[in-house]
Amino acid sequence: MMKKQNSWFVFDFGGVLTIPIKKAVRSLCSYLSVKPEQLSMIFDLFNGENSPLHELERGRITEYEFQQQIAAGFPEPTATLLLTKPFHEIWFSCLRAEQRSLAMVNECAQRGVNLALFTNNVIEWRPQWVKMVDLEQFDVVIDSCLVGTRKPELEIYEILKDRLSCEYDDMLLIDDSPENIEMAVSLRMNTILWNDADTSLPQLRDLLGRATAADQQ
């Protein structure tokens, strides 16, 4: 089937093409021997506009600088454990691909849908996460750390619109972050707030069926 010129499925990476982030965080807590609420408290401290995590995703600080700032919030021996190996080695031992989501991406590609990958990610993490997806299935890949801005900032959505050469209402954003979805809705993008593969795949499959049926008319 020929690809439509102005219709795009835009996939987030973490939490959509992987297992839910909360599930990975539970594994991280187990590795660090901390309670989930302790880890949540630390990350809540870094949830501002210029938080270490956000600056890492903008490519403005290194992974090790991020680790140092996070480790400072924990007592020993957890603080030292956080610094014993690169964070990506720890994190990607906890974060696994969601094979059902990847199969859906493959089905979308096979049915001629234009596909974009739209991710908040980290320079040092790229060798790990690109092994988990087939980037050749995506016509466009936008990685926050390579463009210096992250979701839900307007600038990265404008970059997406420019790269896709279409209007926002010709896009379907599939993302697990309510904040990212809220920005997309304000721009009149179509959206799926992804919970997990069990509950969200049927909605995506229904929209895929509608999109390909319309293309055949």
Q: Are residues 121 and 207 in the same domain?
A: yes
C-alpha 125: how far from chain center:
12
Please compute the mean of the pLDDT values over residues 106-134 and round it to a whole number.
96
How much is the pLDDT for 211?
A: 77
209 within domain boundaries = yes
Interval 171-188: pLDDT, tens:
999 999 999 999 999 999
* Phi/psi at 31 (5° precision): -60, -40
Distance in angstroms (rounded) separating the CA atoms of residues 200 and 186 = 21
Specify the pLDDT at position 142.
98
Please tell me whether residues 117 and 205 are part of one structural domain.
yes
Whether residues 119 and 197 fall in one domain: yes
Residue 62 resides in a domain: yes
Residue 87 and residue 111 in one domain: no
- The pLDDT of 184-201, averaged and rounded, is 97
Q: What pLDDT is stored for residue 159 in this prediction?
A: 98
Q: State the total domains in the chain.
A: 2
Domain annotation covers residue 112: yes
Cα gap 103→100, rounded to integer Å: 5
Percent residues over pLDDT 70 in the chain = 91
**Are 70 and 53 found together in one domain?**
yes
The mean pLDDT of 146-156, rounded to a whole number, is 98
Task: Answer whether residue 133 shows pLDDT above 70.
Answer: yes
Is 138 within the bounds of a domain?
Answer: yes
**CATH number of the structural domain spanning residue 114:** 3.40.50.1000
Residue 2 lies in a domain: no
The answer on 200 and 134 residing in a single domain is: yes
Examine the domain organization and report whether 114 and 201 are in the same domain: yes
Residue 207 is assigned to a structural domain of this protein = yes
Whole-number percent of the chain with pLDDT over 90: 73
Residues 26, 52, single domain; the answer is yes
Instruction: Show the domain range for 49.
Output: 21-91
Q: Same domain, yes or no, for 80 and 108? A: no
Tell me: the pLDDT tens digits for 50-78? 788 899 999 999 999 999 988 888 888 98
Average pLDDT over residues 98-121: 96
**Residue 26 pLDDT > 50, yes or no?**
yes
- Report the mean per-residue pLDDT for the chain: 91
Residue 3 lies in a domain: no
Mean pLDDT on 40-49: 65
Across residues 72-94, what is the average pLDDT? 92
Residue ending a domain, among 60, 91, 122, is 91
**Cβ atoms within 10 Å, residue 68:** 15
Q: Would you say residue 170 has pLDDT above 80? A: yes
Are 42 and 137 contained in the same domain? Answer: no
The per-residue pLDDT for 32 is 87
pTM: predicted TM-score of the whole model, two decimal places: 0.92
Instruction: Answer yes or no: do 144 and 210 share one domain.
Output: yes
pLDDT value of residue 44: 64
Token pair in block for residue 79: 């603080």
**37 touches 100 (CB < 8 A):** no
In one-letter notation, the amino acid at residue 202 is P
Copy the structure tokens of residue 73.
Answer: 């919030």
